[in-house]
């Protein structure tokens, strides 16, 4: 019995001395991971800040980059179509307070950065970095359609957001690729950007995200617009992926696009590219 008590006491002492050391190592590891994540996020942000987006046929000047980013995202799904994404950011460029472009960036392999540009401006846009031309859009990704048989927009700003969330329950979205098949996306509860431009008939607007994990694959814009003497709801799905995608309303397909081919610059309103490490130091 004495031997057992002695062994028990020794084990208890060993556990007491081991637990703080193990906990400390875990804390140090978590701290290192967080510092690395912060450094990568800063790299992505600085890279985005180096880009300029402006209309090609306008004297209005550059679109304004909204800071901080409107969404940080990740993707835990590993597939042949792409690796896991530990950290990425979505940015909005505005003109007169309304979104003219939505962009996303995350780190890829070998220090390269994946970049996506979505044109929302009615005017063609040009994307540059210093003296280098990256891409020219030819049209807007937005194609708004009226939402029928819903309550008209409220006069209250908070209540209009409540209405938007209620309308979104009728929408669903999915992506499809060869490696993972069809994957249903989840709607993030908060809009990533909200805006208004009353002098142009936009009473209220918001951009919502359908995501895999938190990686935005499809966007959905809702707008309350002044039509004559009344306000009316409109919606537009927005492509934000190279994968095949579909949006449904009350179970019926209302929008889709096919998977991108190797020519990533071929899309007229959406562009994906890899930015090489050497170009990021310019």
pLDDT tens for 81-134 read 556 777 889 999 999 899 999 999 988 767 788 899 999 998 999 999 988 999
Same domain, 254 and 191: yes
Per DSSP, the three-state class of 193 is strand
Q: What domain range is 14 assigned to?
A: 1-40
Report the candidate in 235, 236, 240 with the shortest Cα–Cα distance to residue 217.
240
Report the mean per-residue pLDDT for the chain. 85
Same domain, 11 and 146: no
**228-257 confidence digits (pLDDT tens):** 999 999 999 999 998 999 999 999 999 999
**139-151 confidence digits (pLDDT tens):** 999 999 999 899 9
pTM, two decimals, is: 0.84
Same domain, 122 and 176: yes
Same domain, 17 and 146: no
Report the candidate in 272, 281, 278 with the shortest Cα–Cα distance to residue 116.
272
- Residue 45 belongs to a domain: no
Q: How far apart are CA 107 and CA 110, in angstroms?
A: 9
43 burial class (0-12, 13-18, 19+ CB within 10 angstroms)? middle
Domain count, the chain: 2
- Residue 157 belongs to a domain: yes
Same domain, 104 and 122: yes
Same domain, 130 and 25: no
Same domain, 22 and 162: no
- Residue 87 belongs to a domain: yes
């Amino acid at each position: 019995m004495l031997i057992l008590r002695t062994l028990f006491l020794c084990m208890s002492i060993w556990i007491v001395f081991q637990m703080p050391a193990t906990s400390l190592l875990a804390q140090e590891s978590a701290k290192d991971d967080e510092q690395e994540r912060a450094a990568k996020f800063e790299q992505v942000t600085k890279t985005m800040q180096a880009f300029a987006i402006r209309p090609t046929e306008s004297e209005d000047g550059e679109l304004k980059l909204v800071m901080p980013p409107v969404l940080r995202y990740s993707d835990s799904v590993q597939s042949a179509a792409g690796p896991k994404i530990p950290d990425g950011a979505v940015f909005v460029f505005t003109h007169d307070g309304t979104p003219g472009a939505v962009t996303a960036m995350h780190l890829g392999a070998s220090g390269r950065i994946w970049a996506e540009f979505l044109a929302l401006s009615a005017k063609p846009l040009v994307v540059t970095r210093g003296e280098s031309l990256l891409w020219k859009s030819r049209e807007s990704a937005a194609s708004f359609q009226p939402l029928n048989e819903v309550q008209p927009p409220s006069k209250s700003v908070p209540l209009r957001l409540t209405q938007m969330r209620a309308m979104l329950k009728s929408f669903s979205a999915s992506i499809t690729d060869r490696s993972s098949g069809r994957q249903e996306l989840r709607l993030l509860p908060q809009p990533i950007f909200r805006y208004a431009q009353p002098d142009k008939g936009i009473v209220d607007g918001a951009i919502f995200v359908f995501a895999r994990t938190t990686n935005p694959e499809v966007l959905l814009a809702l707008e309350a617009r002044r039509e004559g003497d009344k306000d009316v709801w409109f919606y537009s799905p927005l492509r934000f992926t190279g994968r095949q995608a579909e949006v449904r309303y009350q179970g019926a397909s209302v929008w889709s696009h096919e998977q991108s081919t190797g020519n990533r610059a071929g899309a007229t309103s959406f562009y994906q590219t890899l930015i090489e490490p050497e170009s990021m130091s310019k």
